[in-house]
Chain A
Amino acid sequence: MWDYSEKVMDHYRNPRNVGKIDNADAIGEAGSLACGDSLKIYLKIENGIVTDAKFQTFGCGSAVASSSILTEMIIGKTVEEVKKITNKDIAEQLGGLPPEKMHCSVMGYEALEDALGNYDNLTDLDDLRDEKKAEKIVCTCFNVTENMIWDAIKQNGLKTLEDITNYTKAGGACGKCKGLIQDIIDTYYKKEESESQQSTLSPAQRILKINNIIETQISPELRKDGGDITLVDIDGNKVLVKLRGKCSGCKNSHLTLKAFVESTLRDTVDKNIDVIEVA
């Protein structure tokens, strides 16, 4: 039994925007029948704004929910805004997905990316197809390319082979590509390391990094215990946060703040950081 959120259940029970748009301005596809899930998304775009979106999905409850909420997320947005949407946003909007089901949100992102890609290159569809073919397939069982794995690592901070499989399905069947996937992970983090060594973070990058770590590493841990945390402000080395849910008013919140939140940020961003709770 999957631990689906209420939102996921609502969306697979009552999917929004089902169907196709006959004169769509952009159509995107991801997945395949053989792989066990696939998605087709249709967009109507007027003056750079997505005015309508519809989907057709072959897949499980979370695949349908991811597609359904994605259409809701993009209708009314500009193409530029829509381009910024990642699989993480989809999963977040759904109130989270079980780890093994993250690939459903990735499929939504891929279909959207495909649609926007062919919208931008409407005149050069053939070029686009050739380009796609040239991409290196890593997992032949599920047709996962190197770029897809790279994107998933980047967007979600994935660290392990298991993460990659949960998010992209790559390596989930015959497993022959596991070595290759590990190489990609290693290459990614080597690159990131050398980049971070070369340049110290700009103030904006620093804020983003702190926020990212709070969201991906700290907040999920607190949520396990029924609490949560939000970043309020950053003032030099002072990081102001607000504890919520069970964390606020908890006798041990001081301990959580110092021993976990602060030490995590010191390890990953800057050893001079001080975390301060604000009401």
Chain B
Amino acid sequence: MSLIYLDNNATTKVAPEVLDAMMPYFKEEYANPSSIYEFAKNSNHAVREARGIIKDFINASNEKEIIFTSCGSESANTAIQGVLNMNKNKRHIITTKVEHLCVLNLYQTLEKQGYKVDYIGVNSNGELELAQLEEAINYDTALVSVMYANNETGVIFPIEKISEIIKKKNKETKFFVDAVQVAGKIPIDVQTAGIDLLGISGHKFHAPKGVGALYVNSKTLITPLIIGGHQERGKRAGTENVPYIVGMAKAAELAADSLKYELSEVKRLRDKLESGILKKVFNARVNTSISNRVPNTTNIGFEYIEGELILLHLSDLGICASSGSACTSGSLEPSHVLRAMNVPFTAIHGSIRWSLSRYTTEKEIDYVLDVLPGIINKITALSPYQDELANLKQLRS
């Protein structure tokens, strides 16, 4: 069996059509889009066209609201610092305990600079505690920042509802949504959802690494993070990365076309994998709510065994997944997301995230379901918690 890639929340393969669309901008159309001569016309138009495609991809009202960046982290940093710099008199920020580290670490830095940050918790299903959020908003709140869906659990947060709560409590508070994990998986509509700023990253939906976008609505002012030339209407200096911008636009088009497939076929395969594992492995549990998830993700905890060892054995068979266990990351604590959810400590260290894509096949899922029980049995046999495992087996049979 060749490679079976079930780690698409980490990164995705570049779609062949995307690479084809990019190639001319490496080879022939290498002009700087800002140049005056005729030769620059094509690259200039390509960036303009890409901006239109990304605008449609998230249903922004105007192309001017799209800023191209280098990645999701840059989009988030630009949005957050940009808003705060424009609202110097406000010193309060609200975010969640389960944000991506690119956002969490930035907030920890801002706390050191004197900002007050409230971190909203989640319940054991991974769903946001909206009452906490509502209570936290006050006159001083500059920004609320919530991810659209969590990268580890796939749980989608009620963005539209959160926006309503914010606008009800403080009309001046800006709303930034880190949408890196939903772009290409579910439809995004920034207008209906009432989003002020939204970040996406190309490599999560089959564009290459190194390109992202930030939506900033026309009512929201930000300062640039990267200061220099006039590119991106002064919001992000640096010569436009034309081939990558073209690639991301192509990937967005393809993703928009396959949204239906994501919500039906990818979801079906994810559900098949999930229910298959639960059926075949007695010490497996789904760590999250099973409704309200992006269609490609499931997070499964294997009790009384450790995640890295599972991944190493899977890797020996060419299967790629990821784990929230401490050992995998090199940090010593398990994932902050699973801890915020209070996943029992019997399961947290053995939690595996499986994330599919539209390239995942039924045959691949069947193969995983075929080999996984053997791997889990082998590792379970090593565990010092044989009595606990025997009890669990009895309980679940």
Contacts and interface: CB of A to CB of B under 8 A. Distances in A.
Nearest to B330: A100
B306 interface: yes
Contact of B326 (A15, A18, A36, A38): A36
A161 to B, nearest CB: 13
Interface string B353-397: 000000000000000000000000000011111100000000000
Given A56-B382, A60-B325, A165 B332 contact: yes
A58 B384 contact: yes
Interface in A1-38: 12-13, 15, 18, 29, 33-34, 36-38
Interface string A42-85: 00000000000000111111011000000000000000000000
Interface in B324-359: 325-328, 330-334, 345-346, 349
Classify the secondary structure of A's interface with B: mixed
A122 interface: no
A36 B325 contact: yes
Nearest to B331: A172
A34 B345 contact: yes
Contacts of B383: 56-58
Contacts of B346: 33
A173 B384 CA distance: 24
A142 B381 CA distance: 25
B384 A39 contact: yes
A60 B346 CA distance: 15
B316 interface: yes
A113 B126 CA distance: 41
Interface string B38-76: 000000000000000000000000000000000000000
A38 B382 contact: no
Contacts of A63: 306, 327
A64 B312 CA distance: 12
B305 interface: yes
Interface string A217-246: 000000000000000000000000000000
Interface centre among A59, A63, A100, A172 (most CB of B within 10 A): A59
Nearest to A68: B382
B188 to A, nearest CB: 32
28 contacts: A12-B312, A18-B381, A29-B384, A33-B345, A33-B346, A33-B349, A33-B385, A34-B345, A36-B325, A36-B333, A36-B349, A37-B349, A39-B384, A56-B383, A56-B386, A57-B382, A58-B305, A58-B384, A60-B306, A60-B307, A61-B309, A61-B312, A61-B327, A63-B327, A101-B327, A172-B333, A173-B332, A173-B333
Interface of B: 304-309, 312-313, 316, 325-328, 330-334, 345-346, 349, 381-386
What are the 3 closest A-B residue pairs judged by CB atoms, nearest first? A172-B332, A60-B327, A60-B308
